[in-house]
Structure 1
């Protein structure tokens, strides 16, 4: 049982470490750079689940970019295979047009009916907002339509549904979108699902944030935990030194235990942080990690100091001192060997605490870079719980819990070994 817990904990940490450093390579960095730029995400569906929900009985159109089946200057054709229970939220057509020449956008249904949605000189058109055309299509196909249907993501229902014997049903098949008069064009289907983890209320890619934030989160946890334990171990050893140096270190470690963590880290923002053009607060890692480690090392230092004082009262220390050994030599050659395993134990104990603190600080945008704490802040600020946006809550919550659980498993194993030796 012991070995299985230790192996499982180590395996989880190894998987997280590898995944954290590989995951960002699967993300378009441009998405993260424009995370707070609302215009960048305006064409995405808002607050929709991931595309894989269709594997569990759903029949929702995914968001996708269509590739042209015919492309030449002045004429492009795109095919969309519609086989879902709901229509796409929108179809956005963008084009580069020839100066002075109008562009025409036509959609042909599987039954062969053609509808001209647009003719004009703008650079893009949103089919779900062509209300006059949609009303004519609705009348022609016997489908009820109101302009406010667009706000409820059903604006294209007249195009993709038809009245058959009094029953309105989806018309499945291949729809052809033809763009005439443009040098080149693109067509985006704004569906009811998106990517691997859906979108938030601004249409931002939650999956991209999850993958990109993994690296920063793992680095922050490892660095902060290691620095805090190293400081605590060294401070616990140094506090046993005679004279002013030992007294000063002991006083600093006591101070560390009484400073409130969250208010102190928030107060760090005006001292080391900066605000970008999009009102994003940025804090350098070189300031965040030492500051958080300083606030956490005090308890470790106190515990290590207690172990050191106990060892210094033993006979082998007195024998070494009688032979001329000084306190520093004894600490380095004898006491450190005893304190070392305890420090590793403390590392496994502190890592879950660091994970929790980084998550909490993320609510206040205090953590540096782009991490899972940032995503937890999204969950709170966008009321994801009340919106039933489980794809914003479950993956990040589960990822943090499993990461913390790995260290808990290792900690329990080390604790059992220490007790069995005692």
Structure 2
């Protein structure tokens, strides 16, 4: 008696090669890079100060006391002294971390959404679509980024919302170029061709098959871009085009401190150190992630 063999239905999707996503391995690899580890600690400290600012702050950030103006650090209960209006400088710097991180994070997300979307479309479809998008990128890159941001904020008006829009609008080109380059190398892979063969639509191929393999460089650019965005916000505020008083901003603190640089240098030193500390943290973290992902790709 012959035993009949049951033929199982073929699962077409199972034949697709499984691609490893470098982003999933980043967290486990961070501890192997001293640069990423130190940068991550710096960033966590700034995030902690921004989130728990009402608990950490020792005074009201908007409370003015002209009888205690320009106090030196550790004088009369003020850890970092007071500014020209008698406001506690330590509290103002702690609350300034909230503004800087808000502008940095939101502007980077906005730039990422614009740049990644256009980069995916440009790299995947190619042809005249790619030509148009890349010529737009070339036009944006022909202008100095900071000057373009200053022009946009001057046209829109000062304020946190306009600063975010301006920074997001000028920094999207980095994401578009990097994502396009990755898409051009990924879209010819066998698993992409197999996905087309089984009838997957373009939307699914772009966002479910191609995009996950572009996450590692996107994370690196976004991490480095956070430091750049924070410096740009401080620059705009320093010039009077960014965050407006009485909101606490590191750039405004630097601008006001310049007027008292001889009699009260701490007004400029501590906001400058806060900017340096934060930007250094993001740059070290971004460099560490980039080194880790590059070494991982080379081993593969």
Q: Does the alignment reach a TM-score above 0.5?
A: yes
Report the alpha carbon displacement of residue 315 of structure 1 after superposing the two structures with TM. Answer: 3.8
Q: 1:283 aligns with which of 154, 159, 182?
A: 159
Superposition misfits of 4+ residues, deviation over 6 angstroms: none
Give 1 or 2: higher strand fraction: 1
Q: Does 1:212 align with 2:95?
A: yes
The answer to which structure, 1 or 2, has the higher relative contact order (CA under 8 A, 6+ apart) is 2
Note if contact 2:34-2:288 (Cα within 8 Å) is conserved in structure 1: no
Q: Deviations over 1:206-239 (max 9, x none)?
A: 3342232221112112222232233222221021
TM-score normalised over the length of structure 1 = 0.55
Alignment of 1:198-347 (within 5 A): 198-201=81-84, 203-240=86-123, 241=125, 247-269=131-153, 271-273=155-157, 282-285=158-161, 287-347=162-222
Alignment of 1:9-24 (within 5 A): 9-24=39-54
Cα 1:312/1:15, change in 2 over 3 Å: same
Q: What CA distance in whole angstroms lies between the structure 1 residues aligned with 2:94 and 2:207?
A: 43
Q: What CA distance in whole angstroms lies between the structure 2 residues aligned with 1:403 and 1:200?
A: 22
From the CA coordinates, give the structure whose radius of gyration is larger.
Answer: 1
Report the alpha carbon displacement of residue 409 of structure 1 after superposing the two structures with TM. Answer: 2.3
Note if contact 2:61-2:92 (Cα within 8 Å) is conserved in structure 1: no
- The Cα RMSD (Å) is 2.8
Runs of 5+ in structure 2 lacking a partner? 1-30
Q: What CA distance in whole angstroms lies between the structure 2 residues aligned with 1:253 and 1:407?
A: 25
Question: How many aligned residue pairs are there?
Answer: 261
Q: What CA distance in whole angstroms lies between the structure 1 residues aligned with 2:72 and 2:66?
A: 17
SS in 2 for 1:389: coil
Q: 1:373 aligns with which of 238, 251, 260?
A: 251
Alignment of 1:18-417 (within 5 A): 18-24=48-54, 26=57, 27-31=59-63, 41-45=65-69, 47-51=70-74, 62=76, 195-201=78-84, 203-240=86-123, 241=125, 247-269=131-153, 271-273=155-157, 282-285=158-161, 287-368=162-243, 369-380=247-258, 382-384=259-261, 387=262, 389-417=264-292
Cα 1:320/1:269, change in 2 over 3 Å: closer
SS in 2 for 1:43: helix
Q: What CA distance in whole angstroms lies between the structure 2 residues aligned with 1:216 and 1:2?
A: 32
Q: What CA distance in whole angstroms lies between the structure 2 residues aligned with 1:311 and 1:348?
A: 23
Q: What CA distance in whole angstroms lies between the structure 1 residues aligned with 2:62 and 2:39?
A: 34
Cα 1:346/1:262, change in 2 over 3 Å: closer
Cα 1:6/1:267, change in 2 over 3 Å: closer
Cα 1:318/1:398, change in 2 over 3 Å: same
TM-score normalised over the length of structure 2 = 0.75
Cα 1:388/1:238, change in 2 over 3 Å: farther
Cα 1:403/1:331, change in 2 over 3 Å: same
Q: What CA distance in whole angstroms lies between the structure 2 residues aligned with 1:231 and 1:332?
A: 14
Q: What CA distance in whole angstroms lies between the structure 2 residues aligned with 1:17 and 1:345?
A: 19
Q: What CA distance in whole angstroms lies between the structure 2 residues aligned with 1:19 and 1:272?
A: 31
Runs of 5+ in structure 1 lacking a partner? 32-39, 53-61, 63-193, 274-281
Note if contact 2:33-2:292 (Cα within 8 Å) is conserved in structure 1: no
Cα 1:322/1:395, change in 2 over 3 Å: same
Q: Deviations over 1:71-125 (max 9, x none)?
A: xxxxxxxxxxxxxxxxxxxxxxxxxxxxxxxxxxxxxxxxxxxxxxxxxxxxxxx
